[in-house]
Structure 1
C-alpha cells in the first residue's frame, strides 16, 4: 500500500448548528442596528414568519429587546474586554458579541452555553474566520458579573456619568430626567425604563368592550376605562384580529381620552397627526357615540395606510375618513373642528421601555430639530379648532423642550387661548404607563359673543 493510501483522511469540522430563537434575534438585531428598524416591530414580524412561538418566542424577544436596551453598556464592556475600539470590529461581529453579552450578564444562560452558542452563531451567520475572536472576547466578558463590570466601568467617574452607565442610559437623557424629577425619584424613573411593559389592549368603542376582553382572559385596567392587560399573544384574541381592539399603552389611551373630557361645541373631531392610528381608533368610536365623526390626517401615505387599517372594523358608511396631508398646512378649513388632537412627532423618550433601541438612537440634535415642527403643529391645531373648541397637545416624551416649553411658547403668541386644566405628565415609575404629556387648551368662543352649542 502506498504512503498516500495509508495517510488518514483530513478531519472534517463538525457542522455548526444554531437554534431558531437566537438566529431570529440576530437577524432582527442586524435590521435594528444596520437599517434603523424598530425592535418592537421587526422582532414579532420575524417570529411570525418563522413560526417561532411559546417559550422560544419569549427567549428570542428578551434576547433582542434586552440587547437593544443595554446596548450602550454592552459596547463599553466589549471594548474593555477586547482592548479594541468598536469601530475596529465588523458590525455583524459586534452584534453577535452584544447578544452574547446579554446572555452572559443578564439572562440565565450558563457561561459555556452562551459562549458556545455565540461562536456557532458567528460561524453560521458570518463565517468560521471570526469564531476565534468571538470566543476570546466573550470568555473575557464572562469572567465578571454585570455588577463587577459596572464597578470597573464607573471607577473614578463623576456621579452623573456613573449613574448613566449603571442605569443603561446616555448621559444626556439622565441629565434631562434630573432636571424634571425630584432627586429621590431619579433612579426609580431610570430603572423603570429597563422593565418591559405589560401588553395592554384598547377597545374600539361601540365595537368591543372591556368585559368582552376580560371574558377572554384579560385583566381590566384599574384606571383606564377602555384598557385591559393581556397575558399572551394579542393575535390570539378575535377582537384584535378583527380590528375591534388593538394594542395600546394605557398612557396613550389616557392622552386620547383627555380631549373628550371637557365641554366642547358640537361638530366633527380631528386627529392631526394620526399615524399609526391607535388614538384615532379610540376617538372614532367615542365620536360616533356623541353623534359626530372623526377625520384622521397623517403626513406619510404609508402611515396613513396604517391608520386606515386601525379603523377597518368601523362599518361603512360611517367609517372615519383618513387623509394624507401635512399637519402644518391642514387640508381643512380653519375653525372646523370641535375637538382636535395633536399627538405630535417627538423624540419618543417617553417610550424607552417599549422601544428599547431608541435611547441610543436619539440625540440632543434630534430634539432641537423637532421643536420648530412641534410648535407649528400646535399652531395648526389651534387654527383648526372651532370657536370654543378643545385642543389636546400630546407628546410621548417627558422632556420640557418638547412639552411645557412648546405650549408656553405658542400661548405667548396667542394670549387669547386658555388652559382648560394644568398640564399633565405621566411617568412609568409613578403611573405604570409610558411617559405621556398632555396639555388641554381652549380657543376663544365666537367673537360675536354667542356661546356655541356644547356637548360632553
Structure 2
C-alpha cells in the first residue's frame, strides 16, 4: 500500500457568469446569425442588463468596447487566430470564433492584463460553449500571448510586406478587407499617409452629434447638456464623451435628433442650392427612411413656406419617417411609395433629395460589422436601383429645379459613376458646384461634386452631387 499522503479531490468549480462578456458574446452572435447591426442590437441588451442590476456604467462601457472593438478588427484577429490553430478557420464553429475574437481583442486591443483576459475568456467559453471547447479556447489564447509580442508584433507576422501587396498590408494592419481598402484608395487618391489616416479614422468611435431642427429647437438649448458646437453645420451640437441623447429634452420631444454632421450638410446644401426661374414651394425626399434628413428638410421648408413630401418604399420605415416629422410646423406628407415607380407627376417638385441605398462604406466607424459583411458583388445589386432613383428624381423635378444625389459611400461605382451614367441619358441635367454651399470646409476637392471624409472633416464619408434640370 502506498504511503503517499492522500489528497482530497478538488471540488467541481462551477463556471463564473460574467455578465459583461456574456452580453458581448450575445451581441456578436446576433450580428453573425441574424445579420443584425451592433448599434441596434447592443442598446436593448445593455438596457435590459441595467434593469436587472447586472451592469453599471463602467461595465456597459466595457461591453460596448468589447463588441465594437472585436467587430472592427475581426479580419485581423481571424488572421492571428488562424496562425494559432491547426485547421482552416472555416472548420471552427462560429460561436467558438466569436469567443476567440473576444479574447484576442482583450489581449491585443485593450489594457486588460493578459492573464485576466485569458482567464475571463476561458470562463466565458465554459459557460457558453462547454468545458471541451473551453480547453481549445485556452490553448489558442495562450499561443497568442506566448511570445509576448503584442498587437504590433502579430501585425508584423501576419500582414504581408507593404512592397508586396500594399492593400492587403494596410487591410490587415487596420482591420479592413482588401477590396474595401482598394476602393477607398481609388476614391481618396493620394499616398499612403492619407490612406492610413482614413483607415485609422474608420476605427475610431464617432462622436454623437445632435441636430437642432430649425424653428423647433436651438443649439443653445442643446449646449446646456454639456455639448459643444458642431464644426460645420449651424444646427449641430457634439455631445461630450458618454453623453446620452435621451437625456436631452429636445431629443426626447422630437424637436432635435441624432444626426451625423455630414448628413446635415448634404440636406442644407440642397436646401440652399440656387434654383432656376420659378417657385420654391414643393420639396421631395425620395428615399426618406428612417427620417433624419426628412426632419431637417421639413423644418427648413416650413421656414420658407414650402411643403415637404417624404416618400419611403417600406411601410415600417415610412412609419419611422412620420415619427421623425411629427410636430413639424409646416405642411408635409409621408407616403409609402417606391421612388423608382413614383406616385407623382413629372415636374412636380422644386427640390428633390435622393439619398440612395448603398453599401454604407462611408459609415464603417458606426457599423464596423458592415466591412466584413459587404462583398464587391453588392455593388452590382445596388447599381440599377441607384441609377433608377436618380433618373426618376430628375423627372420629378421641374425645369430649373435641383436634385441632390446623396450616398453614404465613397465608392466611385456608387458616386461619380452613377451621376455620369445618368447624365448621359439626361443631357438636360447640369452639375452645380456644391462646394460654395459648404462654406469654410477644407479639402473639398476639385468639384463640382463633394466627397466628405472622416479623417478630413470628422463626418461620415457622405457624397453629394447637385444637378439642376435645364430641359
Class of the TM-score when normalised by the shorter of the 2 chains: over 0.9
CA–CA distance in structure 1, aligned partners of residues 228 and 357 of structure 2: 31
* Deviation readout 1:248-276 (Å, 9 max, x if unpaired): 11011111111101233322211101111
Q: Matched residue of 1:266: which SS?
A: coil
* Deviation readout 1:230-262 (Å, 9 max, x if unpaired): 121111111111111111110111111111012
CA–CA distance in structure 2, aligned partners of residues 343 and 207 of structure 1: 24
* Residue equivalent to 1:399: 411
Q: 2:303 aligns with which of 285, 289, 300?
A: 289
* Residue equivalent to 2:264: 253
* Residue equivalent to 1:164: 171
> Does structure 1 residue 151 correspond to structure 2 residue 156?
yes
CA–CA distance in structure 2, aligned partners of residues 59 and 205 of structure 1: 36
Matches within 5 A, 1:179-198: 179-180=186-187, 181-183=189-191, 184-198=193-207
* Residue equivalent to 2:443: none
* Deviation readout 1:398-446 (Å, 9 max, x if unpaired): 111110111011111111111121100001111111110000111126x
Q: Which moved more, 1:153-162 or 1:79-88?
A: 153-162
CA–CA distance in structure 2, aligned partners of residues 221 and 260 of structure 1: 19
* Residue equivalent to 1:344: 356
> Does the 8 Å contact 1:242/1:313 carry over to 2?
no
CA–CA distance in structure 2, aligned partners of residues 274 and 114 of structure 1: 44
CA pair 159-278 structure 1, distance change in 2 beyond 3 A: same
CA–CA distance in structure 2, aligned partners of residues 404 and 261 of structure 1: 22
Q: Per-residue deviation at 1:9?
A: 8.6
Aligned length: 437
> Does the 8 Å contact 1:390/1:442 carry over to 2?
yes
CA pair 128-309 structure 1, distance change in 2 beyond 3 A: farther
> Does the 8 Å contact 2:118/2:138 carry over to 1?
yes
TM-score, normalised to structure 1, is 0.92
* Residue equivalent to 1:427: 453
> Does the 8 Å contact 1:351/1:434 carry over to 2?
yes
Q: Matched residue of 1:390: which SS?
A: strand
Matches within 5 A, 1:190-209: 190-209=199-218
Q: Per-residue deviation at 1:85?
A: 1.3
CA pair 163-136 structure 1, distance change in 2 beyond 3 A: same
> Does structure 1 residue 314 correspond to structure 2 residue 340?
no
> Does the 8 Å contact 1:18/1:117 carry over to 2?
no
Q: 2:59 aligns with which of 56, 61, 64?
A: 56
* Deviation readout 1:93-144 (Å, 9 max, x if unpaired): 1111111111110011111111111111111122222110111111111233
CA–CA distance in structure 1, aligned partners of residues 244 and 88 of structure 2: 40
Q: Which moved more, 1:241-250 or 1:103-112?
A: 241-250
Q: 1:80 aligns with which of 75, 78, 83?
A: 83
Q: Per-residue deviation at 1:8?
A: 9.6
> Does structure 1 residue 69 correspond to structure 2 residue 72?
yes
CA–CA distance in structure 1, aligned partners of residues 360 and 166 of structure 2: 26
Q: Which moved more, 1:236-245 or 1:70-79?
A: 236-245
TM-score, normalised to structure 2, is 0.89
Q: Matched residue of 1:82: which SS?
A: coil
> Does structure 1 residue 238 correspond to structure 2 residue 249?
yes
> Does the 8 Å contact 2:306/2:331 carry over to 1?
no
* Residue equivalent to 1:34: 33
> Does the 8 Å contact 2:302/2:331 carry over to 1?
no
Q: Per-residue deviation at 1:196?
A: 1.1
CA–CA distance in structure 1, aligned partners of residues 345 and 44 of structure 2: 40
CA–CA distance in structure 1, aligned partners of residues 307 and 273 of structure 2: 17
CA–CA distance in structure 2, aligned partners of residues 385 and 320 of structure 1: 17
> Does structure 1 residue 299 correspond to structure 2 residue 313?
yes
CA–CA distance in structure 1, aligned partners of residues 332 and 428 of structure 2: 31
Q: Per-residue deviation at 1:155?
A: 4.5
Q: Which moved more, 1:182-191 or 1:407-416?
A: 182-191
Q: Per-residue deviation at 1:10?
A: 6.1
> Does structure 1 residue 440 correspond to structure 2 residue 463?
no
* Residue equivalent to 1:222: 231
* Residue equivalent to 1:411: 423
CA pair 312-219 structure 1, distance change in 2 beyond 3 A: same
Matches within 5 A, 1:374-385: 374-385=386-397
> Does the 8 Å contact 2:342/2:392 carry over to 1?
yes
Q: Matched residue of 2:83: which SS?
A: helix
* Deviation readout 1:276-327 (Å, 9 max, x if unpaired): 1110111111111111221111111221122122223436xx5632222111
Q: Where do 5+ consecutive residues of structure 1 fail to align?
A: 1-6, 446-456
Q: Matched residue of 1:442: which SS?
A: strand
